[in-house]
Amino acid sequence: MLVQQRTIKQPVSLSGVGLHTGQMCTMTFKPAPENYGIRFRRVDLGGSPEIPAIVDHVVDISRGTTIAIGEARVQTVEHVLAALVGLQIDNVVIELDANELPIADGSAKPYVDVLMKAGFEMQDSPKDYLIIDETVHYRNEEKGVDIVALPTDDYRITVMVDYHNPALGSQHSGLFNLEKEFVSEFAPCRTFCFLHEVEELHSQGLIKGGNLDNAIVIVDRELDDAEIKRITEKLGVKESVILGNNGVVNNKKLHFKNEPARHKLLDLMGDLALIGVPLKAQILAARPGHASNIEFARMIRKLYQQKRLVKRFQYERKEGVVFDINAIKKILPHRYPFLLIDKIIDFKLDESIVGVKNVTVNEHFFEGHFPGQPVMPGVLILEAMAQTGGVLLLNGLENPGDQLVYFMSIDKAKFRKPVTPGDQLVLELKMVSRKGKICAMTGKAYVSGTLVAEAEMMASFVDRNNTPRPKGGNGSKEQTGKEVRTSTH
C-alpha cells in the first residue's frame, strides 16, 4: 500500500444519467491539496457548497448512499468512492451539476477509467492510515448481518452473500491485494437487483434512470408472457425482455460467476470510504447492505476520532494507560494541589471513561481531615469524578485549554465507605446525554472493586477567557441560594 498521499494530475469529466433520479449529471474530478480529503461540490447551487465524504453526513440509504449538508445533497456515492479507494486517491474534488452521480453501467469501472486517464500525483504528506489493532464487530441479528474488522498490516475484504435464490445461491468473494486485484477483478462488477424489487423501487419513485444496461436483473419467480408485458410497460422498458435460462433477464452475461458478491464487496468499499481515512484492516462481512455498512462505518470512524484524540495528547504509548499524568496536564488546567486524577486507563469516545487516583498520606487535605483519622473528603471524591468526566468531554473541543467545564448540578450523591491513605480510587464516568454545551453524566468511585461513592452530574462548557468571577472573592465556589456551583474542568 502507498505511503504518501496522492491526488490526480488534471481534471477529468464524466456525464450520464442518475440511477434513481433519472437526471443528467456531469461530474468533474479535480486535483486537491494535501489533507483535503474527498469532497463533493454542487456547482449548480448558489455558493457551490461542498460536502466532505464523511459518514457523519449520510442522510439516506434507500438502495444507495446519500450524503448531504443542508440543502446540498449527493446521491449514490458508493461506486465512485470505491473507485477512489481502489486507486488509493486521498484528495480530490468532485464537481456535480445535479444531485446524483451518473450510474453509467452500474459498476465502478467508468470512474476508474477516467481517473486513470487523469493520472496520479504523489504528495508530500504521509497517508493517515487508521490501523485496526483490536477486533471491531457489528451485528444485526434481525437481518443476519455480521461485519468484523480484524488487525492486519494491509487492506483486505471478504464478503459472503446468501439470498436463498437458485440464480444466486450462496456466494463469496475476497480482495487481498488492492494494487493487483481492484481494477481488473472488482471495478467492473455491476449493481444487481431481483425482478420483484424492480416494481417496488419504481413505485417508490426510484430507479427513474434504471434500464437493462446499467443493472443486472435477476429472475426470482415464474412469469408468463402477459406478466412480462405488464411489467415492461409499467416500467417503460422498450427493449425486448426474456426470462434468461441463466437466471438473469435477457441472459445477460456476467463478468464473473460471483459478480453479485463482488459488487457487494465494491459497495462495502465505497461505504467504508466514508470513515474519512484509509484503513489497514481485514474486513469480513456476511450479508452486508448499505444500512449495515454505514452503521459499521460510524463505529470505525468513532474509533478513528478516539485514536486521533489520544494521539494528540499522549505522545508515549504505555501499556494499560490511555492518558498519563503528562497528557492529563495538557487537557485539564488543574495543578497541585487540586489535580485529583493520576491517569486514564479506559476511554470510549462520547460514552465512558475510567480514571485512577492514588490516594497517599501526603495529600494536603489529610492534615486537617481528620488529624489522627485521615479520611478523603467526599467533595474531593466528587471533584475527582468531575475531572475524569472533563476528559471524557474532549470530543468536539478544538482547544480544550481554552474551555472550562462547570458543574451545573450534583444529584443523588452517596458516600458508602471512607477512602483513606493507601487506597486507589477507580473513577468510572458514563455519558448520559450531551446537547450543545450541556452534558449529563453518572459517576461511580471504587476501591478494590467496592463502590465507595456515586453521583449524577450535569455540567456546561464555558469560554475560559470570558469566565465571570464570583462577587466577593476569588474562590472556586459561589453560593447562590441553596445551589453550590463548583468550578471544575
Find out whether the peptide bond into 151 is cis, omega within 30 degrees of 0: no
User: Do the strands 12-17 and 24-31 form a parallel or antiparallel pair, or are they unpaired?
Assistant: antiparallel
How many whole angstroms separate alpha carbon 9 and alpha carbon 3?
18
Q: At what angle do helices 109-118 and 78-86 cross, to 10 degrees?
A: 50
* Residue 481, Ramachandran bin (φ over 0: left; ψ between -120 and 50: alpha; else beta): left
How many whole angstroms separate alpha carbon 427 and alpha carbon 363?
18
Q: Is 263 among the catalytic positions?
A: no
Residue of 290, 334, 364, 489 marked active site: 290
For residue 268, count other CB atoms closer than 10 A to its CB. Answer: 25
> Which of helix, strand or coil describes residue 147?
strand
CB 74 within 8 A of CB 99: yes
Q: Is 137 among the catalytic positions?
A: no
Return phi, psi of residue 227, to 5°.
Answer: -70, -40
For residue 123, count other CB atoms closer than 10 A to its CB. Answer: 19
User: Do the strands 477-480 and 483-488 form a parallel or antiparallel pair, or are they unpaired?
Assistant: antiparallel
Residues whose CB falls within 8 Å of the CB of residue 82, separated by 6 or more in sequence, listed in order: 108, 186, 187, 266, 267, 269, 270, 273
CB 214 within 8 A of CB 238: no
Which active-site residues does the annotation give?
A: 290, 369
